[in-house]
Structure 1
Amino acid sequence: MKLGYFTMPMHPAHRIWEETLREDRETVILADKLGFHDAFIGEHLTDVHENITNSMIFLSSLVGETKTIKLATGTSNLSQLHPVLVAANAAMLDHMSGGRMILGVSAGALSTDAEALGILDEDRNQLFQESIDVILRIWEGEPPYDIDLPNNRFKVSTRRTYDLGIGVGRLPKPLQAPRPEIVGTVLAPFSKGVIQMGKRDFHPLSANFLLSKWVKTHWPNYVQGKKDVGQVADPADWRVARTIFVADDEATARAYGRDDARSPYRFYYEQISKKLRRSKRLFVLKNDKDQPDEEVTYDYIMDNLMICGTVNSVVDQILALHEEIGDFGEIVYAGMDWTDPVLSKRSMELMAHEVMPRVNAALAPGRSLRNAG
């Protein structure tokens, strides 16, 4: 099982933007030094707490500061940009990083972003579908392209102006052939979008604020998508994000990871629950759709979504998760504000150097991957 990193990111509004951007960069640099496999970075335009506005710009600043970690958009919000821009910029980042780029994609869920861009009343899921289709056609094609797909608003051509003799009219291709890995973040229980991911060889990343019982529903749909195109699903392609804090002692783990009023994990889930309530998506935190909203308390959320404790305790909790949902290829560590930088860094170190070796040692003997067919 690989270890990855994902951050939305989320910081208290009073913090200075320059400082949080520097901190977010330091976190990815540390993850690289600790051997994390990849780092997914989220983006929003109008959120004072989640204040990375463009994940590709942010990731480009890390190319020279990192060596092996894969740099992933988490996600590029495809409803918000013309697909030519996404395809060209992702291709450049792939070359800049020496082929370490992963394209994480989604429609873009924040309504205030959509309103600011004048697309609040648009079907952003439809925009997403149209955009990804065109991005793939661009990477597969050659000039003058002439991309005009049925029921797709994005038409791409350079036929009227291209001149390959002087080098104009050609869009760049990624370094990785035929394309970088494409990852979609999955939030909804029983998500039908995961079936489409399987069909198109995109890889699912199950969100950290989704109950494990709902995370479990993603895999059968991915298997179905693969079956539909005559392929067998590989659990190595499934990423599962969880909210994790590891400490040297239980008292510290309990305080910083949950109980202290200044806990970044408390701040994170208070913000998440408010946003889910506002967008009428609180169901992702519920055991069933009829559960009353008032039962979704802070303690309830932490009991169901937080992996917290010493090394041995966290190992046990990850193994219990694995037992519940089955095999998956990567556990993705959710990044938080560094309220206490020492404790935050120590958690990542313990996760990489102590937790994951023990998890993998426990899984190795006689390990049998689920029957994906």
Structure 2
Amino acid sequence: MRLGYFAMPLHPLGKTWQTTLAEDRAAVILADRLGFHDAFIGEHLTDAHENVTNSLVFLATLIAETTSIRLGTGTTNLSHMHPALVAANSSMFDHLSDGRFILGVSPGALKSDAEALGILDEDRNRMFGEAIDVITAIWERDAPYDIDLPDNRFKVSTRRTMDPDMGVGSLHKPLQQPRPEIVGTVVAPFSKGVVAMGAKDFHPLSANFLLPQWVATHWPNYVQGKESVGAVADPADWRIARTVFVADTHEEAVAYGRDSEQSPYRFYYRQMLTKMRKLGRVELFKHDRAEPDDAVTLERVLQDMVIVGTPDEVAEQLVAFRDTVGDFGELVYAGLDWVDEGLARRSMELMAEKVMPAVDAVPAAGAPA
């Protein structure tokens, strides 16, 4: 099983922007040194806690600082810019990174971002679908393109201005052919978007803040999408993010990973629970959809969502999780604020060097021994 890294990233108020950006960069550099397969970084324009405004720009600063880790937008919010810009900028990044680019995509969920861009009243999910079709069409076709898909607001052509002798009118292709891997983050139980991912050969990344029973609903939908186009779904293409903290002692793991008021994990899920209550999506944390909202407490969410312990304890919990949701190709480690840099670094080291080898030593349920 591969090991990946994902950060929204989410920081407490009070740290300077320069400090948090440097910390987030250091985490990806460490992940590269430890052999993580890839790193995804999220983006928001107007969130004081999640303060990477453009994941592609952020990741560009890491190309020369890393050697093998694949660098993924986590995600590029496709309602925020014209798809021709996404296609062209992603292609350049793919060349700059020597083919280490992954395009992570989503509609862009933050309403204040949408208001700032003047698209608050737009159907951003529809804009997302339209944009991704245009991006893949640009990569598949040659100039002058003439992309005019039915009911799609984005039209792309250079027919009127193309001049091959002058070298103008063509958008650059990515280094990876036929295109870079495209990954979509899945944040809802029974997501129908996963069906579309399967049909389009995009790969799902199940969010770290979903209960195991909701994560398990994603794979059947991905299989359905693959079957709709006569393809076979490969579990290696499924990424699942989890919130994990590993320490050398059980007591240290529980304190920093869950119980201490200074715990970045407690801070993260306090923020997430507050957001989901305001958005009317607290059911993400419910054991049963019929539960009343007040049954969902911070303490229960922490117990449900944060995997903590020594390397052996964490490996045991991850094997049990895999048995619940089914086999998958990559465990994505959720990166949080470094309240204690030493403990944060040690957790990533133990994850790569102790936990993953122990998980890999246990065959997945249903797999040959």
Please tell me the TM-score bracket, short chain as reference.
over 0.9
Partner of 1:192: 192
Structure 2's unaligned 5+ residue stretches are none
Provide the secondary structure at the position in 2 that maps to 1:144.
Answer: coil
TM-score (norm 2): 0.98
SS at match of 2:52: coil
Q: How does 1:357-372 map to 2 (within 5 A)?
A: 357-363=357-363, 367-368=367-368
CA deviations on 1:249-284 (whole Å, 9 max, x unpaired) are 011001100111110001100111111111212111
The CA deviation at 1:363 is 2.2
Quote the residue 1:285 is aligned against: 285
User: CA deviation digits over 1:181-202, x for unaligned, max 9?
Assistant: 0000001111111011000100
Q: Residue 91 of structure 1: SS of its match in structure 2?
A: helix
Seq. identity, %? 64
The reply to whether residue 139 of structure 1 matches residue 139 of structure 2 is: yes
Alignment of 1:51-90 (within 5 A): 51-90=51-90
Which residue matches 1:204? 204
2-structure distance, mates of 1:289, 1:365: 28
The match for 2:331 is: 331
Q: Report how far residue 223 of structure 1 moved.
A: 0.5
Aligned counterpart, 1:312: 312
CA-atom RMSD in angstroms: 1.2
| Cα deviation, residue 368, structure 1 | 3.8
Distance in 1 (alpha carbons) for counterparts of 2:28 and 2:173: 26
**Equivalences for 1:117-128 in 2 at 5 Å?**
117-128=117-128
What are the within-5 Å matches in structure 2 for residues 160-309 of structure 1? 160-309=160-309
Q: CA deviation at 1:289?
A: 2.2
User: What residue is the counterpart of 2:106 in the other structure?
Assistant: 106
Partner of 1:121, secondary structure, is coil
- Count of residue pairs brought into register by the alignment: 369
Distance 1:365 1:265, change over 3 A: closer
Task: Give every structure 1 segment of 4 or more consecutive aligned residues whose post-TM-superposition deviation is greater than 2 Å.
Answer: 363-369
* In 1: Cα distance, 2:131 partner to 2:171 partner: 16
Does the 8 Å CA contact 2:78/2:132 hold for their aligned counterparts? yes
Are the counterparts in 1 of residues 223 and 232 from structure 2 also a CA contact under 8 Å?
yes
In 2, Cα distance between the equivalents of 1:64 and 1:186?
Answer: 30
Query: Which residue of 2 is the match for residue 49 of structure 1?
Result: 49
CA–CA distance in structure 1, aligned partners of residues 291 and 118 of structure 2: 35
Per-residue CA distance 1:79-132 (angstroms, 9 max, x = gap) = 111001100010011000000000000001111101111111110000000000
For residue 164 of structure 1, report the CA deviation from its aligned partner.
Answer: 1.3
Q: Name 1:354's counterpart in structure 2.
A: 354
State the 1:321 CA deviation.
Answer: 0.4
Cα distance in 2 between the residues matched to 1:164 and 1:269? 54
Structure 1 counterpart of 2:9: 9
Distance 1:284 1:194 in 2: 17
Q: What secondary structure does 2:134 align onto?
A: helix
CA distance in 2, matches of 1:363, 1:51: 39
Q: CA deviation at 1:150?
A: 0.4
Provide the C-alpha distance between the structure 2 equivalents of 1:48 and 1:239, rounded to a whole number of angstroms: 28
Output the TM-score relative to the length of structure 1.
0.97
Tell me the distance in 1 between the aligned counterparts of 2:279 and 2:171: 38
AA at the equivalent of 1:301: V
Question: 5+ residue gaps in structure 1?
Answer: none
**SS of the residue aligned with 2:139?**
helix
Q: Secondary structure at the match of 1:170?
A: coil
